[in-house]
Amino acid sequence: MSTLFRIILQRLLLGLLTLLIVSIVIFAAVNMLPGDFAEAVLGQGATEEAVTAIRRDLGLDQPPVTRYLEWLGGALQGDLGTSFAKANFASFVGADAGSGLDTVAAQIAPRFANTLFLAGVSAAIAVPVSLILGVLAALYRNTLFDKATNIFTLSAISSPEFFLAYILILFLAVLNPVLPSLSNIYQGMSFAERLDRTLLPALTLTLVVTAHMMRMTRAAIINLLASPYIEMARLKGLSPLRVIVVHALPNALAPIITVIALNLAYLITGVVVVEVVFVYPGIGQLFVDSVKIRDIPVVQASCLIFAGAYILLNLVADIMSILSNPRLRHPK
């Protein structure tokens, strides 16, 4: 157990170090964007004095290192800063600085909850479908079903998200109005209404991630079918489906868990395009809107949340693989 605890602790420390490095990259990349919030809001006709005043009140005139350390210190304390877009410009040039401001956390929290709901619905559809298709493809490998499944999933994964989204809108919202084309989610909606307006973007994400998980399940099971214990199970007269589900699938969990966790990370971090297409009020849509107006605190916080979610789910995949495979717990 001490060895397992040491391995998990090493993974956690490595994840924290990675997140620190990513935060530096995020801050540098965001601050390299052309223009800033003052120029985006005031426009080209603004006077230099007005632009300078807003930059000074927002702290944009400070050295980059100082701004990064202040942002990092606030983030470690749970303070992601204040949204520039919610600022009362009268307070910036007047005496009552800070009035009319909304925190970044208050802006992101409901949007991130919407993104998690979308990712949860997508995962609830994609994971069982992928496992079932992977098991059936391994059971009936090299048959017409196996080839058709591979062609369909490879076609889906090779297509851009926006293309799949517009295809689904065409067939499920325009030609056959089964689902709404726009996901206008708001507070106070019933679960059924929320689910109905989330299904179309969830189906889009499902088509994108199903291929990875299905093909990994299929490959992992096929690699185990030549094992001696599988041959023994067959000699005992067990049905092919029972051999795969009961004997092969549990021993193939390590790579399957890894690919599922990585795709769950994509469902959270890769939703930007899908949310923009369906006007879904998630953190991806907020991120795009904030980039347009150079709302730096919101952009930095969104990127940090994306990075944190991806690193966390990678750590979960790593730890689950270690727990499910004794050989990884006792490396030579």
Local confidence pLDDT in tens for the 332 residues of the chain:
567 778 778 888 888 899 899 999 988 888 887 766 666 666 666 667 777 777 777 777 788 888 888 888 888 888 887 877 765 433 444 434 444 346 888 888 889 999 999 999 999 999 999 988 988 888 888 889 888 988 888 888 888 888 988 999 999 888 888 888 888 887 888 888 889 999 999 999 998 888 888 888 888 888 887 788 878 877 787 787 788 777 777 777 778 888 888 888 888 888 888 999 998 999 988 888 888 877 888 888 999 999 888 888 888 887 777 776 666 556 55
- Each domain of the chain, given as residue ranges in start order, spans 1-102+297-332, 111-292
Q: Distance between CA 297 and CA 105 in Å, rounded?
A: 10
Alpha helix (H) ranges present in the chain?
2-31, 37-42, 48-58, 64-76, 89-93, 104-139, 144-158, 161-169, 191-224, 228-235, 240-242, 249-251, 253-269, 272-277, 283-292, 296-324, 326-329
Fold of domain 111-292: MetI-like fold (1.10.3720)
Phi, psi of 327 (to 5 degrees): -65, -30
Alpha helix (H) ranges present in 32-93?
37-42, 48-58, 64-76, 89-93
Predicted structure pTM score: 0.83
What does the H/E/C string look like for 214-253?
HHHHHHHHHHHCCCHHHHHHHHCCCCHHHHHHHHHHHHCH
